[in-house]
Amino acid sequence: MQRNRQRLRHFLLIFDHKKGALLRPPQEFEDAQEAIAAYSRTEREYEGREDMEIVLIGSDSLATVKRTHANYFAGDVASKYLRGL
């Protein structure tokens, strides 16, 4: 018996804590190596910026990411700990 398995996707989020919002829409990748390379480039791009959070999440869909990581999509929740920036 075969199971109906969805492929794991990877979502790159760039969250700006000063603005309390994603800097741009999530970037989606099907290839894990491509996702990791994009994550590394983005980490280097924002190196030293404590107000920026770079996150790579593996999930079946963006809808799932929005449920499991809602704080990135409702910025007022995620930025409470950085109010002093």
Domain residue ranges of the chain, discontinuous segments joined by +: 9-82
Q: What is the pLDDT of residue 41?
A: 98
Q: What is the pLDDT of residue 17?
A: 85
pTM, to two decimals: 0.81
21-76 per-position pLDDT tens digit? 899 999 999 999 999 999 999 999 999 999 999 999 999 999 999 988 988 887 55
Determine phi and psi for 28, rounding to 5 degrees: -110, 140
Q: Strand, helix or coil at 41?
A: helix
Q: What is the pLDDT of residue 5?
A: 60
Q: What is the pLDDT of residue 85?
A: 46
Tell which residue, 14, 35, 33, 11, has the closest CA to residue 23. Answer: 14
Q: What is the pLDDT of residue 20?
A: 85
